[in-house]
C-alpha cells in the first residue's frame, strides 16, 4: 500500500496521486484530503484516518510506504514512524514551512477544492511544532528532489538527509516535480523490497 500526502493548496485528487495509480496499478494508493494549512488539524485528521484504515486493513504484513510531496513530505516525516510505515518517500519536501510560508501569508486559493482561506502568521508558526530531526532508518527515507524547484532550495533537503536517507536529485524540473515516471520506478522498487 502507498499512502500519498498532498501539499499546500492541493487535495487527495492531486495529479501525483493519479500518476502513481496509473503507473503502479498493482499497488493500492490511498490519498486523503486534509487541511495542509492547519498543522494541528492536519496531523490529527491524518493520524485518525490512517490509524482507522490500518485497523480495517488488519494485515500488518502488507507493505506500507508513505509518499509526501512538499507539505505532505513535512507531515509525512512526523507521521511515518508513529504510524508504522516501513518507508518514507519525500518529493520536494517543505522541511522548514515556518520559514518558507512566511513569504505567502495572506489570502490563498486552493483550486483543487475551489476554496479560499487566509493563511495567518500564527498558522505558519504552528508548523514548527511538527519539525523532525532526520534519524537514520526511522523509517528508512528516500528523497526525490528537482534541482529546478523554484519554491524550495533542493540543497536544504539534500544536505539534511545526506548519509541518513537515499537522495535522488533530478536536473531541472520545478516544485511541481517533473520526474514522476522515475519516481514511480523508485517507489515500485522500494515497495517490492518490503514484500
pLDDT over 70 (residue 61)? no
Number of domains making up the chain: 1
Q: Answer whether 0.75 is exceeded by the pTM.
A: yes
Which string of b and e fits 51-68 if b means at least 16 CB within 10 Å? eeebeeeeeeeebbbbbb
Closest CA to 72 of 154, 152, 148, 6: 6
pLDDT over 80 (residue 59)? no
Three cell numbers written together for 115: 476554496
As to burial, measured by CB atoms within 10 angstroms (0-12 exposed, 13-18 middle, 19+ buried), residue 122 is: exposed
Q: Which domain holds residue 166?
A: 34-141+153-179+187-194
pLDDT over 90 (residue 97)? yes
Residue 194 has a pLDDT of: 86
83 belongs to a structural domain: yes
**Phi-psi group of 125: left, alpha or beta (phi > 0 → left; psi -120 to 50 → alpha; rest → beta):** alpha
Residue 63's pLDDT band, with cuts at 50, 70 and 90, is confident
pLDDT over 90 (residue 135)? no
Residue 145 has a pLDDT of: 97
CATH number at residue 85: 3.40.50.1820
173 belongs to a structural domain: yes
Summary mean pLDDT of the chain: 93
The span from the CA of 138 to the CA of 136, in Å, is 6
Residue 57's pLDDT band, with cuts at 50, 70 and 90, is confident
CA geometry: angle 5, 3, 147, nearest 5 deg: 50
119 belongs to a structural domain: yes
Measured in degrees and rounded to the nearest 5, phi and psi for residue 68 equal -125, 135
Residue 133's pLDDT band, with cuts at 50, 70 and 90, is confident
pLDDT over 70 (residue 187)? yes
The span from the CA of 35 to the CA of 80, in Å, is 18
pLDDT over 70 (residue 12)? yes
165 belongs to a structural domain: yes
The span from the CA of 114 to the CA of 39, in Å, is 20
81 belongs to a structural domain: yes
Residue 62's pLDDT band, with cuts at 50, 70 and 90, is confident
Measured in degrees and rounded to the nearest 5, phi and psi for residue 143 equal -110, 135
pLDDT over 80 (residue 137)? no
pLDDT over 90 (residue 147)? yes
Amino acid at each position: 500500500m502507498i499512502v500519498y500526502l498532498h501539499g499546500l493548496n492541493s487535495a487527495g485528487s492531486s495529479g501525483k496521486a493519479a500518476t502513481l495509480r496509473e503507473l503502479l496499478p498493482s499497488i493500492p494508493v490511498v490519498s486523503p484530503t486534509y487541511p495542509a494549512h492547519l498543522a494541528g488539524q492536519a496531523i490529527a485528521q491524518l493520524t485518525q484516518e490512517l490509524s482507522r484504515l490500518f485497523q480495517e486493513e488488519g494485515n500488518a504484513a502488507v507493505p506500507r510506504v508513505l509518499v509526501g510531496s512538499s507539505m505532505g513530505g513535512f507531515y509525512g516525516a512526523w507521521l511515518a514512524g508513529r504510524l508504522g510505515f516501513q518507508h518514507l518517500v519525500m518529493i520536494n519536501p517543505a522541511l522548514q514551512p515556518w520559514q518558507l510560508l512566511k513569504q505567502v501569508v495572506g489570502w490563498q486559493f486552493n483550486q483543487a477544492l475551489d476554496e479560499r482561506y487566509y493563511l495567518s502568521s500564527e498558522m505558519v508558526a504552528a508548523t514548527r511544532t511538527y519539525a523532525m530531526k532526520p534519524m537514520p532508518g526511522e523509517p528508512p527515507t528516500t528523497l526525490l528532489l528537482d534541482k529546478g524547484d523554484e519554491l524550495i532550495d533542493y540543497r536544504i533537503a539534500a544536505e539534511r538527509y545526506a548519509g541518513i536517507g537515499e537522495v535522488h536529485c533530478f536536473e531541472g524540473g520545478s516544485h511541481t516535480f517533473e520526474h514522476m515516471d522515475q519516481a514511480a520506478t523508485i517507489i515500485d522498487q522500494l515497495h517490492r523490497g518490503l514484500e
